[in-house]
Structure formats: C-alpha cells, structure tokens
Amino acid sequence: MLTRLVGSHRAPRQSLRLAGLPSLALLVGGLLVVASIGCQTPIRALVGGKMNLGGKMGVDGDIRMSGEMVTVSRSDNTATPIRTVQVDGYQNAGGGRIAIVDVDGLIVNRNFSGLNSMGENPVALFREKMRRIECDGSISAVVLRINTPGGGVTATDILAHDVANLKQCRNIPVVACLMTTGCGGGYYLATHADQIVAHPTSVVGGIGVILNTYNMQDTLAQYNIIPVPVKSGEKIDLGSPERTMEKHERAILQTMANQFHDRFIAQVRSARGQRLVEGEELLSLGLSDKEKDVEEDDFDDEGARRDLGELFDGRVWTGEQAVALGLVDSTGYLDDAIEIAGRMAGLPENAPVVLLRRDNDRALSEFDVTPNSPMSSLLPLSIPGLDRSKMPTFLYLWQPEPSFVTAGG
C-alpha cells in the first residue's frame, strides 16, 4: 500500500483524492503526523489501496506541510522461514559453524505480541530453530543463550526434549550460557546441554515449582459480586479465585507440584551427577541455612514441608556460588561459551558464528533479543485473580516479579 502526500499551492484547504481507501489506522496516523509536524503549504493526498469505512470521520481546520512523504506498509502478516545470519568469525574459516539459539523471557506455549513483533510462540520458534539445525550439516555446535526466569512446566519440558532430540540426531556439542537469569525452566533447559557456563553475576537455580492461585472471595463480595457456578464434577473449579480453597483441594494440587518438582530434581541429579554439592558439603561452604531456626508451626501441609535440602528448595544462587555447588561447570561470558562449543566440535578459531533469524528480525548481534515482549492490553492494568484463565499452569519459575503472573496473557 502506498500513500503519497504532495505539496500544493492551489487550494486553501486539504483536498483528498481517494483511489480505494487505505486502512483507517494508516490514514489517521498520517493525519496525526502531519498535524504534529506542521507546514506552510496545503497538501494533496494520493492514496492507493482498499478500505471499507463505516461511520463518520471529520478533520477540522487546515492541515499544511511541505515536501513529500511516502509510506509503504506490508499488507500481510506472513512470517518468513528461519535462516542463518553470520554475526562473527570468518566466512572462509575451515570446518563448520556455531549456531547461537536464544531463549529469552517467559517460556510459555502461547503467542506473545509486542511492538515490532509478529507475536511469536516461544515453543514453536524454538522447535523451528532445532529443525533448521538438524537439517543444516554446516552447523557443528550449538550455544543456548539462556536469559529467562523460567516458565510453564510443560513448555519447558518440550524445549528440553527438542535439545535431547537434536543431540541424538546430530551428535553435536551443545553448550548453555546463562546470562542475567538462568532459573526455573531456564536452568532445567541448561541441564540438557553438555556444558553450562554462567556469568559470575548470573542468578542461577530456582529448582522448584509454583502454581499461582488467589482467593478473591472477599474482594468480590465487597462489590456485591456473588459467583453462581453451574457445574458437574465437584472439583471442576479446583483452584478458582472465586472461593476459598479447601484443605483437601490444596493437597491435590500440592501432590501435583511435588511430582513436577521431583521430575526437576531427578533431571538435575542425572545431568550433574557427582559434581553436585549437597548436605554437609554445602554447609562447609557457608551456603547453607540449616543452623538457623525454622518455624515449622507455619506449615499445615505435609507435602509442602519436604526436606530436600537447600539445593532443591527453590532458592537462587550467584554464578560463582553455582560453580561451587556443581550446578554449572564454569563462570565466563558468551564469548567463552562460544569458544568452548567450538573446541568441543573441533572447529578452528574464529569459526563462523550464526544466529537463526527471520527476515524482519533486526536482532543481528550475539546479544540482540528478538522484539517479542508480552503486551496483553493498552492499559497498564493487571488484576491477577481475574487474569487467572490466561496464566500458565504449574511453573518452573523464579518469580520475584508479580507481572510474570499475567505475562502470558
């Protein structure tokens, strides 16, 4: 679609010649831009495209500008296939290439929308990248650049399963690099790599499970809102914010959380093996709080007070502490992770480093992030209880930030 605004000195007012109307948003946006810039001559707008416009729209006063403005917009929302974009190294270096696969933000199996984003699904996008690597014999090593507090239990497990399939299919080294945050599902994913590198200042760990539920019964009553559910199946509204959760209902959800937690722990133990430091060893490093008094009276649920040790109680650690605990192999930076991956693959120094990007993705360096920030509404208003239907379910997620509760919506 093409919109051309040409200066004209003939008419005292704006004249519009429409050869098929454009989208309403483009027309209104163009008028706002013109009005905000201001100019000295009346204009004539030549507009191409089609639009069905109902209702009325009026412009009062004169709109004046000088010069010529041409706008071109894409008429479809079709995503281009993933392709490799070289960001470092020498093209003529012998051997293969190293691919960086970025995992940023909340890991959920749903589309995100944001400015400059086509609303990618993180799980679908990761699968597409894995398949591209499986079919590209020139990629000899992979670096998972992880910067996430975690995400949904199932979504995280799907990503980890894809990494395991890649290693089985291609038998190439995979190195995980933990950036600012590598917690919850982010750390779960990292344990499926051959080596884990964390920044000294990374936040690592969060080996736990959380399900966000809310009791809004009293709040609704204050506004004279009385839920009247029509249901078949006594527990079909289990966890509903509209009423107080009963103790035996909480036990049902707690059992599920414990099962997902045990799965996480089993993966960490299997991947890290004898490198893990637990119990008295952890205490000797000064990283344990076993000597502190713990008030057991605050716990009513047997399943909630399982003593699995500090390593698996959901807490987080610095990158340096994580090395001492055996959660990661070394501290370093993204460049170090790339070097390790290349060395494991037997590649020469300065081997080409590539990203997997779509044509409309402007992230073209090792640290760039694809614009895909959640934007649930134009209003900065979030009521967690009312947004419950949009939340992910059980989460491998370190969650100090309340906005993560509704980030998937």
Domains of the chain: 2-72 (no CATH), 83-215+223-285+307-406 (3.90.226.10)
Instruction: Say how far apart CA 123 and CA 111 lie, in whole Å.
Output: 9
The predicted-structure confidence for 349-372, as pLDDT tens digits, reads as follows 889 999 999 887 777 788 887 765
Output the pLDDT for position 222. Answer: 87
- Total-model pTM: 0.75
Tokens 């990374």, residue located: 202
Angstrom CA distances, 187 to 68, 198, 375, 392, stand at 53, 10, 25, 18
Question: Residue 29: is its pLDDT beyond 80?
Answer: no
**pLDDT tens-digit readout, 4-18:** 444 444 444 343 333
Alpha-carbon distance 347 to 242, whole Å? 59
Least confident range of 172-181, 258-267, 372-381: 372-381
Report pLDDT for 380: 47
Copy the structure tokens of residue 123: 């799980």
pLDDT reading at 161 higher than 90: yes
- Among residues 67, 73, 74, which one has the least CA distance to residue 5? 67
- The first and second tokens of residue 286, run together, are 């000064």
Beta strands in 223-304 (DSSP E): none
Contact 100, 145 (CB under 8 A): yes
- Tell me how far CA of residue 341 lies from CA of 64, 140, 211, 246, in angstroms: 59, 9, 36, 51
382 membership: H or E segment, kind and range: none
Q: Which residues contact 223 (CB under 8 A, 6 or more apart)?
A: none
Mean pLDDT to the nearest integer, 381-408: 63
> What are the tens digits of pLDDT across the range 248-269?
999 999 999 999 999 999 999 9
3-state secondary structure (DSSP) of residue 406: helix
**Residues contacting 59, CB < 8 A, separation 6+:** 14, 31
The enclosing H or E element of 143 equals: strand 139-148
* Rounded mean pLDDT, 209-225: 87
What would the mean pLDDT of 225-253 be, rounded to a whole number?
90
Q: Confirm if 31 and 59 have CB atoms less than 8 A apart.
A: yes
Residue predicted with more confidence, 390 or 36: 390
In this prediction, residue 70 carries a pLDDT of 60
pLDDT band, residue 272 (cuts 50/70/90): very high
**Helix, strand, or coil (residue 19):** strand
Ramachandran sector of residue 62 (left: φ over 0; alpha: ψ -120 to 50; beta: rest) = beta
Residue range 12-25: mean pLDDT, rounded: 41
Mean pLDDT of the chain: 79
DSSP state of 404: G
Cβ atoms within 10 A of the Cβ of 110, count?
A: 17
More confident call, 79 vs 310: 310
Integer Cα distance of 341 and 302 in angstroms: 44
**Whole-number pLDDT of residue 369:** 79
Among 85, 102, 105, 3, which Cα is nearest to 46's?
A: 3
How many angstroms separate the CA atoms of 342 and 228, rounded? 61
Beta bridge partners of 219: none
**% residues pLDDT > 90 (the chain):** 46
CB-CB neighbours of 304 under 10 Å:
13
Longest pairwise C-alpha distance within the chain? 89
Measured between alpha carbons, how far is 326 from 387 in angstroms, rounded to an integer?
38
Burial of 343 (0-12, 13-18, 19+ CB in 10 A): middle
- Mean pLDDT of all residues in 48-60: 60
